[in-house]
Amino acid sequence: MDTRRQQRTGTGFRAGLSRAGTQRGQKPRPGTGNHTAMHAVKAVPRPLPPDLLRRIENDPLFMVVTLDGTQWIDPFSGEPVAIGPQGRASAARVHLAESGGWRNGNALPLGQLETERWRLDLTRLLPTEPRLRIFLKDNRGWMNPFSGEVVQGVERPDGKLTPRTLWQMSQKLAVCPHARAGRMYDMQELLNRGRAYGAAQAAQEPPPTPRAEQQALSEDMAQAQSVQQHMLSEMPKPPGYELAVHLSPHAGVAGDFYEVTSLRDGRIFIALGDVSGHGMQAALVVATALKTIRFVARSTSDLTELVCRFNDEIKPDLMPGQFITLFAAVLDPENRVFSCLRAGHQPAILVNLARDDVMRRLGRRGMAIGLATGAVFAQSLHQVSMQLEAGDIIVQSTDGALEAMNGEDVQFGESRYLASVLSRYESSAQELVDGVAEDVRAYVEERGVGDDLTVLALAVLPSDDTALEHAPPQA
């Protein structure tokens, strides 16, 4: 047989291949027997040099972690890395061996790493920690809750927490020695310090000129009010229950919203939300939130799934740093079963003078809407269910009620709020929510509430059998 022909067929063809199974000068073709050979030469991460291992254990640049201990900051890239059950050092070794970032340059400055760490911590803590949200009037400063001192250079334009605000707060905390321990002053002490600072500043300034009377709402604002009122749900009247709501916007239109609607399985979905900030920007988010939550509620009756899908749908529409706190519930009116969950919102209150525990809080803490998506958000939610009884009243509000301050910078607070609810237990649901709002306004007097104020109530009415048991005997 011709030698040249023999090289193209049979064993002679293999003589023209390299050891890796490919023809010399050519790349391996996918789908051939070359796969095993390519695996054999796959690169394995090199062991870290001893100097780098020592730095992981001892260098402060390699020890920057979030307050909750779940994330470590890569000192070469500044990116957060999840800390597993093996701890920071193990997570650092694995990450650096895989990324190889240490080969490309020097570590970042410690101040920059601490700033990024605080940015992550503040993103997580701001929705649920009011001590981080104490600002003096007229943008005069931010109260650092770790040092108890008023800090300048933290801007909050139009009363809103923007990404720039978050970054400025992070920079201040990165250089604050008191913040490293992670312990904050209590709320009342911080308010007292803020009041003293404000009084000292006011004493050094000339008296302000009288302000002109507030101008009437523009036509655009009036139209926005009308649109928002039209979008909010009318309270249904399910047999055996009473639903009521009071909503007072702070700036013409509200960043608070509520929704009450029937699900496909006949149960009733109830939600109360609070968009960060207030005014027109928050009102625009409210409009988007109501449309989104109604759209999702048409396709699922599962409470946790509904809230998770709502979060994933609306997060792209939120501004950077913006979030929504949400209390969501489902009522089974036939069986009197109430299920609820909290996404960054405060607990609801259950009141019934006939129960052993006259008042109790409802709902377990979960992540606010817009902070994360997917499994991270879903795993933070914890749905709870309970059997309702005749005489139960469930009351929920936005933080405008509890955080309203009087002229001495003392908050209305939970104790006054609970007392206001309890004092109106015998009233109708509408009288209860209106009365709580009136107590808040009376407390703050001329100062004004300073935020949107919404109170929602669900009352379980006595059944016919219960009413007969408690009816007076006939003569």
Q: What is the pLDDT of residues 136-156, one digit of tens each?
A: 776 678 889 998 888 888 888
Which one is predicted more confidently, 324 or 32? Answer: 324
User: pLDDT value at position 202?
Assistant: 64
Domain ranges of the chain: 50-108, 111-198, 219-467
Q: What average pLDDT does range 176-188 have in this prediction? A: 86
Give the CATH H-level superfamily of domain 219-467: PPM-type phosphatase domain (3.60.40.10)
pLDDT greater than 80 at residue 197: no
Q: What is the pLDDT of residues 266-284, one digit of tens each?
A: 999 999 999 987 677 788 8
CA distance 83 to 88: 6
What are the residue ranges of helices labelled H in 204-302?
Answer: 219-231, 280-297
Report the percent of the chain where pLDDT is more than 90. 45
In Å, how far from its chain's centre is CA 417?
23
Q: What average pLDDT does range 169-193 have in this prediction? A: 87
Residue 221 tokens read as: 């604002």
Within 13 Å and on the Cβ side, how many CA atoms surround 88?
22
CA distance 146 to 128: 16
CA distance 384 to 340: 6
**CA-based nearest residue to 141, from 108, 168, 104, 114:** 168
Q: What is the pLDDT of residues 252-266, one digit of tens each?
A: 777 889 999 999 999
Q: What is the pTM of this model?
A: 0.57
Read off the pLDDT band of 209 (50, 70, 90). very low
What is the average pLDDT value for the chain, to the nearest integer? Answer: 82
| Lowest model confidence (mean pLDDT) among 99-103, 231-235, 447-451, 461-465 | 461-465
CA distance 93 to 98: 9
User: pLDDT value at position 304?
Assistant: 97
